[in-house]
Chains A and B, each alone.
Chain A
Amino acid sequence: MRGETGAGGAAPVVVTGLGTVNALAHSVDAFAAALRAGTCAIGPVTGFDATGYRSRIAAEVTNLEVPGWVPAPLRRRSSRSDLFALVAASEALDGSGLDVAAAPERVGIVLGATTGGMMSAETCLRDRIERRVDRYRMSPLLGTPMATSADLLAYVFGAGGPRLVLSTACSSSGTALGVALDWIRLGRADAVIAGGTESMCRTIFAGFNALHALAPEPCRPFDRRRAGLSLGEGAAILIVESAAHAARRNARVHARLRGYGMSADAHHLTAPHPEGTGAMLAMRRALARAGIAPDDVDYINAHGTGTPLNDGVEAAAIAAVFATAARPPAVSSTKAALGHTLGAAGAIEGLTTVLALRDGFLPPTVNLDDPDPTSGLDFVARTSRPAALRCALSNSYGFGGNNTTVVFERA
């Protein structure tokens, strides 16, 4: 049916390592178990004083454990989002068995992020406005720029290949997985540490609050009564590797990364195009570039934020793209469990999609009680279902009106 190579005979690319830290779990195994169990990690905000906000809940990472071998100065200077990336990458590299030192220049790093060390920068600004300090100091600001997450990983793990941080809002790390794929196909790297990281900050919380986009109760994507999104934080890293390189070292393959597609709505900075033209274009491009037919797709991990507008447009776009399929794919949103992790969402949801393919289950939309029937799609509500899946998509859409769809296939 499908050849061993991607579209145009491009070399196959696989996922050989997985790592995450998020509000549900601090390891991939625990995350997979929590997904199957249908746990929701959204609870009261503790990272800052959320008094006066429409919503005071989020999915926060608590009790982060940074490996003891990380040098103290780096630990001190790194932002919370840098450390999330470090912990997730450490797990992913350990599990992959990849020997970075054997050919450091052949290992790249591409991450998605949207706010970097913003929380720390906010505190610096507030302290200076309120004259608690009379000058900015270097140390708490070093981790502010988003590029430092990738620089930290390069330094700590010795990866000397191409390095990039993408910031395309909520699609950032979905696109990062795609760039990793391109780098391998272009011969720029044999393996890429790819993913995304995001930590909570006041700016984002206050901003979504001001847009009336935050749900007062844990978000319920695709529910008829959906009332907005919940915010979250965390990181996920996938080791994306050329299949040939992985085979040479007998690496465990969790899934294949078949392709991705990008588009722009060119419509509005925050509102999706009402007809979902960008969402459809990204899905169609992803399928075409992956060389996969709609009939082969069994599952879609949706962007599914829980806002009335996004979920309606996305569901309609999915229904349109898969209108000709014998059986449209099952759809769910991980954001019901983990909140919207913005720059990390594409990677965490890519990881979720890989686990679904590898372990044979449909991850649930945990707070979905009353599915919106408009699109006629099969939403995986409340509890996970066992299912042997062949191919699956992960959708990520961002402010600015940009859309990315990533295609994975069971190994």
Chain B
Amino acid sequence: MRERVLVTGVGVVSPIGSLPAFWQRLCAGESGIAPVEKDGVDAPPSGPRLEARAREWNARDHVRPALLRRMDRCSQMLVTACRMALADAGLELAGSAAEEAGVVVGTAFGNLSESEQFLRGLFAKGPTLANPLTFPNLVLNAPSGYVAIDLGIRGPNLTAVRGEASGEAALALAYDTIVTGQADVLLAGGGDELAPVLRQIYIDLGLLSPNDGGKEWSSPFDRRRNGFVMGEGAAILVLETARHAEERGARVLAELVGYVAESIDASPHDWPTDDAAAHARGTARDLAGLGFRAPQGNDGAVLAVSCANSTRALDRAEAIRLAAIVGSTNRRAVVTSPKGAIGEFGAAGALGAAAAVLALAHGDVPRLGALGAADPDCTLTLAGREVTAPRDGFHAAIVSATPRGVGAITLLFRRT
């Protein structure tokens, strides 16, 4: 019998703020997308004017100055999210508890800003003047290392990299790390920063909204969607074994029941085709094995938090895939995506998972604030502004990630 894994705390740094603002604004359908802030390095002369920057947080309020001095922005967001999550869980990790606790973080690119600066310095000034202070920050696991140093956590310290599914991948890895008995408590989630060099690449490759010259926005599943808006942020869930949570009388927000990994035919560098997306049978079968089914009749309502990011191909594939998992035109299965509020980034799924947990705990719906008319092909029950929360809340939530290269990950959470 596997140990049950409970979520007992949530910490968020995001374009719509931290908790409780993050949750209130998601449910109100508000967005953190705002005009581009000047960042000094190659501010884009043309292209997008909008982005979703993490705001309303100050790393200095959370991180010791001696460490803060060394840390890159991505690490600062993650350490902040960890401290917020621990405070939310009412948990202090000291002594042997810190030895049995770990960190599992997902990130697609980590600290890309300092990587760019390091290389610019190297190209301009040569190797002798390369910056030894920032180099240690360039490894993708610098954030998880800083979390361990900041909080004294001496258990497993892992960083998962899965492109746009990095947050979900980290939570999946965290689940396995707990049920194999390697930690009592894990700080699990992910973070990514909005890096100027990545923005320039996305602009050059024509991936950002408005790639058709139309309105610049992010509206997942919308008929008029035209690319994504870049975002950033971090979210951390405190995962605990049921035994550990019970012993300390912890407040429980939700249970992480497990996850399903499924490959779908696609090129290693692209999203799935529509045909391929329809083959979510493996996910549906394995979710059933975890006790999940598409709600019918009087079943409790289900929330599906999708990775749809306002890109034409991905959102269509996600709509087809989710229809195969929760059923099309199913009024008891509400589908949403946080990307209209927080933008797109590698670890955005960690914020999606935080939304799923909060929906189970509080019963409200994170809404698609910008949604006008949905794709005519999309038969899902979308969480538009007018959608009301189910009277008895949600009894389960899935978090769906379909990254490029398509190793899809679906997390399953349950109300406790």
Contacts and interface: CB of A to CB of B under 8 A. Distances in A.
A164 B157 contact: no
A269 B109 contact: no
Contact of B126 (A52, A160, A183): A52
Contact of B405 (A74, A141, A148, A186): A148
A400 B161 contact: no
Interface stretch (A27-35, A87-95, A259-267, A299-307): A259-267
B200 to A, nearest CB: 7
A205 B127 CA distance: 9
A141 B203 CA distance: 14
A341 interface: no
B132 A165 contact: no
B155 interface: yes
Nearest to B132: A210
Contact of A281 (B115, B153, B154): B154
Interface string A240-275: 000000000000000000000011111111100000
B119 A125 contact: yes
Contacts of B201: 136, 141
Contacts of B152: 266
B162 A164 contact: yes
Contact of A145 (B108, B116, B159): B108
A169 B99 CA distance: 21
A52 B156 CA distance: 38
Given A154-B268, A400-B142, A211 B135 contact: yes
B317 to A, nearest CB: 16
Contacts of B158: 166, 168, 175, 262, 402
Contacts of B179: 186
Interface string B21-33: 0000000000000
Contacts of B267: 155
- Most chain A C-beta atoms within 10 Å of own C-beta, residue among B102, B146, B149: B149
Given A126-B123, A163-B261, A186 B269 contact: no
B141 A165 contact: no
B251 interface: no
B127 to A, nearest CB: 5
A2 interface: no
Interface in A110-154: 113-114, 122, 125-126, 128-130, 135-138, 141-142, 145-148, 150-152, 154
Interface residues of B, number: 74
Contacts of B403: 147
B399 to A, nearest CB: 16
Given A77-B269, A266-B149, A399 B127 contact: no
A262 B182 contact: yes
A328 interface: no
A162 interface: yes
Nearest to A146: B161
B200 A400 contact: no
B205 A138 contact: yes
Given A129-B120, A206-B127, A400 B176 contact: no
A130 B53 CA distance: 29
B176 A398 contact: no
Interface string B126-138: 1110111001111
A167 B127 contact: no
A400 B120 contact: no
B90 interface: no
Nearest to A149: B268
A104 B261 CA distance: 12
A196 to B, nearest CB: 12
Interface string A149-187: 011101100011111111111000001000100110110
A269 B263 contact: no
B176 A186 contact: yes
A267 B149 contact: yes
Interface in B339-368: none
A167 B161 contact: yes
A377 B147 CA distance: 34
Given A211-B135, A262-B156, A151 B120 contact: no
Interface in B139-169: 139-142, 144-146, 148-149, 151-163, 166, 169
A8 B1 CA distance: 12
B274 interface: no
A401 B145 contact: yes
B118 interface: yes
Given A52-B127, A154-B268, A167 B159 contact: yes
B268 A155 contact: yes
Contacts of B130: 206-207, 209-210
A303 to B, nearest CB: 15
B277 interface: no
B176 A182 contact: yes
Given A142-B269, A206-B127, A165 B161 contact: yes
Contacts of B36: none
B192 to A, nearest CB: 12
Contacts of A285: 182
Given A264-B103, A265-B154, A125 B141 contact: no
A203 interface: yes
B263 A105 contact: yes
A264 B120 contact: no
A380 to B, nearest CB: 30
Contacts of A266: 98, 148-149, 151-154
A265 B148 contact: yes
B136 A269 contact: yes
Nearest to A124: B201
Contacts of B115: 203
Contact of B135 (A175, A207, A401): A207
B324 interface: no
Contacts of B141: 167-169, 398-400, 402
A88 to B, nearest CB: 17
Contacts of B163: 145, 147
Given A141-B201, A399-B142, A401-B145, A186 B180 contact: yes
A202 interface: yes
A210 B102 contact: no
27 contacts: A77-B269, A113-B161, A125-B123, A129-B120, A135-B204, A141-B201, A146-B140, A147-B162, A164-B160, A164-B162, A164-B173, A168-B141, A186-B179, A206-B118, A206-B122, A206-B130, A207-B118, A208-B135, A262-B156, A267-B149, A269-B137, A278-B154, A398-B139, A400-B142, A400-B159, A401-B157, A402-B157
Given A147-B163, A400-B144, 14 more contacts: A8-B181, A137-B205, A161-B263, A165-B160, A166-B159, A209-B127, A210-B130, A264-B155, A266-B152, A268-B149, A277-B154, A398-B141, A400-B157, A400-B159
List 5 A-B pairs, minimum CB-CB distance, nearest first: A400-B145, A151-B405, A207-B135, A160-B263, A163-B407
